[in-house]
């Protein structure tokens, strides 16, 4: 008797394996502070653990952000916030520099905090 790829017996086996594995998957990862005398590979491993645990910061959409939200970014004041709003819409966040709305140095400070969502 040939066993097909999606036989009831095989599906039951996969479901059982997932149920048995779920408690191990549900455990939250432990954050381990890197020691001062750790090897480079240990430091890299700890950095990976830390990056898995930290929630990603919400990115600010430059196509819909208010003046107050933009003004809260480093290097952006009321005048630059108004210029960003007047230059909308943006296809990409790098257009802030291409359209001469922000200097490269200010863009470098905020590029990891912003996004240009398309509607």
Asked if the structure places residue 46 within a domain, the reply is no
pTM: 0.53
Asked if the structure places residue 111 within a domain, the reply is yes
Reported as a single tens digit per residue, the pLDDT across 15-67 is: 666 666 655 555 555 555 555 555 555 555 555 544 444 455 689 999 999 99
Instruction: Kindly state the DSSP code that residue 29 receives in the 8-state scheme.
Output: P
pLDDT of residue 93: 96
**Mean pLDDT for the stretch of residues 89-115:** 96
Q: In the chain, what percentage of residues exceed pLDDT 90?
A: 50
Which residue from 95, 79, 91 is spatially nearest to 116, judged by alpha carbons? 91
CA distances to 18, 98, 110 from 95, in Å? 46, 5, 13
Q: In the chain, what percentage of residues exceed pLDDT 70?
A: 56
Could you list the residue range(s) of the whole structural domain that residue 110 is in?
65-115
Beta strands (DSSP E) in 12-116 are 60-61, 114-115
80, 107 contact by CB (below 8 A): no
Asked if the structure places residue 28 within a domain, the reply is no
pLDDT of residue 8: 73
Asked if the structure places residue 34 within a domain, the reply is no
Which residue from 96, 79, 78 is spatially nearest to 87, judged by alpha carbons? 96
Asked if the structure places residue 3 within a domain, the reply is no
Q: Work out the mean pLDDT of the chain and round it to a whole number.
A: 77
Q: What is the CATH number of the domain that holds 102?
A: 1.10.150
Instruction: Give the separation between CA 77 and CA 110, rounded to whole angstroms.
Output: 13
Residue at token pair 């912003």 = 114
Q: What total of structural domains would you count in the chain?
A: 1
pLDDT of residue 84: 96
């Amino acid at each position: 008797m040939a066993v097909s790829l999606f036989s009831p017996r095989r599906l039951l086996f996969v479901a059982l394996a997932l149920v048995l594995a779920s408690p191990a998957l549900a455990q939250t990862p432990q954050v381990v502070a890197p020691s001062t005398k750790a090897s480079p590979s240990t430091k890299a491993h700890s950095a990976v653990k830390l990056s898995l645990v930290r929630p990603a910061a919400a990115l600010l959409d430059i196509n819909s952000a208010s003046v107050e939200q933009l003004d809260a970014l480093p290097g952006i004041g009321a005048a630059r916030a108004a210029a960003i709003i007047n230059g909308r819409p943006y296809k990409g966040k790098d257009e802030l520099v291409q359209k001469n709305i922000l200097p490269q140095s200010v863009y470098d400070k905020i590029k990891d905090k912003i996004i240009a969502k398309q509607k």
